[in-house]
């Protein structure tokens, strides 16, 4: 895909009225201005990145592998230099500063703890390289271990700790020298589901308590929705959408974001007509729905996105959509069920229903929803990959 054909990447700023999250009152605490990164001069891992992060904000960079989120974090950390553009921290360009001069805390997926050092020595390491006095080191290490509730494990080696405890040590080490910015690169990726969910709560509590600015990288949308003030969804080397978790879930601006954030049904069809903010879509195989028109044109192919919880097994209310379907299966999940309903067109819908619903395979049902719960997007939107300069 040529960089020109990709069109301009969205320029987003934390100070925009609809951005959500903390208001910086002017320039961002962290700024990316026209930043690009290429490793070979032909393909771009990051392109035309303009992003502003407020002081005290928890911003998550979310996206699939190869979308540019980790490269963006590495450029901010100083592990990579941008091919072009400017990165500033507190108004000062950091493009030529080595990582150790940026005063940034880092937390990695693999913990990066020194195996031959005790917990206290690991946490004290950033202070020792900054020539902190012995008394101050002891005081700061104690406070940092108290924050993560590991004071009693100070004399243990990392190998004697669980995965969750090791990650808390890594957190304490990143915070002990009181950095103004902490970067986290997939820090919970090595933990099991239950521990991962527990650590999400702990990280968010620490952020609330300390007020430190955090830029967090993950491919897990549940982490992003749980912890963030705002989320930047990366795709194809740039930001597909930036907003609060609520904005991204309820008002996605593209088919990619609708599919990547949360569970989603996607119906294929063709736009019959557009009237104001709504359109009528003829579904492939038969039937039609009314939906919100998000950048679609009459006669164009489109994808209609509908969240499973927005669908109901009932006749349509006045002006609503109603589709005949047949139950094809169900997935019991304790507090709810996922019902699989095959439309007459052959397309499949997932419907979220209560645990008490009893329906057998082959049973006919009517699936309904409001037009405002459906979002029609152009079908030809890009889905990812590096951007190539070839042919420019």
pLDDT for position 12: 36
- The fraction of the chain above a pLDDT of 90, given in percent, is 72
Asked if residue 27 has pLDDT above 80, the reply is no
Q: pLDDT tens digits for 30-66?
A: 999 999 999 998 899 999 999 999 999 999 999 999 9
Q: pLDDT tens digits for 143-153?
A: 999 999 999 99
Lowest mean pLDDT segment, chosen from 245-249, 278-282, 283-287, 306-310:
283-287
Asked if residue 386 has pLDDT above 80, the reply is no
pLDDT for position 359: 84
Asked if residue 8 has pLDDT above 70, the reply is no
- The fraction of the chain above a pLDDT of 70, given in percent, is 90
Asked if residue 79 has pLDDT above 50, the reply is yes
pLDDT for position 360: 87
pLDDT for position 179: 92
Q: What is the pTM of this model?
A: 0.85
pLDDT for position 383: 43
pLDDT for position 7: 37
Q: How confident is the model at residue 381 (pLDDT cuts 50, 70, 90)?
A: low
pLDDT for position 306: 97
Lowest mean pLDDT segment, chosen from 69-73, 128-132, 283-287, 314-318:
314-318
CATH 3.30.530.20 fits 265-378, yes or no: no
pLDDT for position 19: 35
Asked if residue 262 has pLDDT above 80, the reply is yes
pLDDT for position 357: 84
Lowest mean pLDDT segment, chosen from 25-39, 162-176, 364-378:
25-39
For residues 365-390, average pLDDT: 75
pLDDT for position 17: 30
pLDDT for position 1: 38
Q: How confident is the model at residue 389 (pLDDT cuts 50, 70, 90)?
A: very low
Average of per-residue pLDDT values in the chain: 88
pLDDT for position 4: 37
Higher pLDDT, 321 or 130: 321
3-state secondary structure the chain: CECCCCCCCCCCCCCCCCCCCCCCCCCCCEEEEEEEEECCCCEEEEEEEEEEECCCCEEEEECCCCCCHHHHHHHHHCCCCCCEEEEEECCEECCCCCHHHCCEEEEECCCCCCCCCCHHHHHHHHHHCCCCCHHHHHHHHHHHHHHCCCHHHCCCCHHHCCHHHHHHHHHHHHHCCCCCEEEEECCCCCCCHHHHHHHHHHHHHHHHHHCCEEEEEECCHHHHHHHCCEEEEEECCEEEEEECHHHHHHCCCCHHHHHHCCCCEEEEEEEEEEECCEEEEEECCCCEEEEEECCCCCCCEEEEEECHHHCEECCCCCCCEEEEEEEEEEEECCCCEEEEEEECCCCEEEEEECCCCCCCCCCEEEEEECHHHEEEEECCCCCCCCEECCCC
Q: How confident is the model at residue 387 (pLDDT cuts 50, 70, 90)?
A: very low
Structurally, at CATH architecture level, domain 30-103+180-255 sits in 3-Layer(aba) Sandwich (3.40)
**Domain residue limits, the chain:** 30-103+180-255, 265-378
Asked if residue 20 has pLDDT above 70, the reply is no
pLDDT for position 130: 86
* Range with top average pLDDT, 95-109, 165-179, 229-243, 318-332: 229-243
Q: pLDDT tens digits for 103-135?
A: 899 998 888 899 999 999 999 999 988 888 888
pLDDT for position 189: 85
Q: pLDDT tens digits for 187-240?
A: 988 788 888 898 899 899 999 999 999 999 999 999 999 999 999 999 999 999
For residues 78-99, average pLDDT: 94
């Amino acid at each position: 895909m040529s960089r020109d054909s990709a069109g301009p990447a969205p320029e987003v700023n934390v100070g925009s009225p609809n951005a959500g999250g903390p208001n910086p009152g002017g320039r961002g605490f962290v700024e990316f201005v026209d930043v690009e990164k290429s490793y070979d001069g032909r393909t771009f891992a990051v392109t035309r990145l303009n992003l502003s992060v407020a002081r005290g904000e928890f911003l998550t960079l979310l996206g699939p592998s190869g979308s540019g989120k980790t490269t963006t974090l590495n450029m901010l950390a100083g592990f990579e230099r941008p091919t072009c553009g400017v990165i500033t921290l507190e108004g000062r360009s950091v493009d030529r500063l080595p990582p150790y001069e940026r005063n940034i805390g880092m937390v990695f997926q693999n913990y990066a703890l020194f195996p031959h050092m005790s917990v206290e020595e690991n946490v004290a390491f950033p202070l020792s390289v900054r020539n902190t006095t012995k008394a101050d080191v002891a005081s700061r290490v104690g406070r940092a271990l108290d924050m993560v509730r590991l004071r009693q494990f100070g004399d243990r080696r990392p190998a004697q700790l669980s995965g969750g405890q090791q990650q808390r040590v890594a957190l304490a080490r990143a915070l002990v020298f009181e950095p103004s910015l902490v970067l986290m690169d997939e820090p919970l990726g090595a933990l099991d589901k239950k521990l991962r969910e527990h650590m999400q709560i702990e990280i968010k509590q620490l952020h609330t308590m300390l007020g430190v600015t955090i830029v967090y990288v993950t491919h897990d949308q549940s982490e992003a929705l749980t912890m963030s003030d705002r989320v930047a969804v990366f795709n194809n080397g740039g930001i597909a959408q930036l907003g609060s978790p609520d904005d991204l879930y309820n008002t996605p601006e593209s088919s990619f974001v609708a599919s990547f954030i949360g569970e989603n049904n996607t119906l294929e069809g063709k736009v019959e007509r557009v009237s104001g903010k709504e359109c009528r879509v003829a579904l492939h195989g038969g039937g039609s729905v009314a939906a919100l028109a998000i950048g679609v044109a009459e006669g164009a192919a489109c994808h209609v996105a509908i969240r499973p919880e927005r669908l109901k097994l009932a006749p349509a209310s006045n002006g609503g959509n109603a589709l005949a379907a047949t139950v094809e299966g169900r997935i019991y999940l304790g507090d709810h069920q996922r019902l699989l309903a095959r439309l007459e067109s052959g397309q499949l819908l997932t419907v979220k229903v209560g645990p008490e619903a009893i329906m057998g395979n082959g049973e006919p049902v009517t699936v309904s929803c409001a037009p405002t719960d459906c979002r029609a997007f152009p079908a030809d939107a890009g889905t990812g990959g590096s951007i190539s300069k070839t042919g420019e």
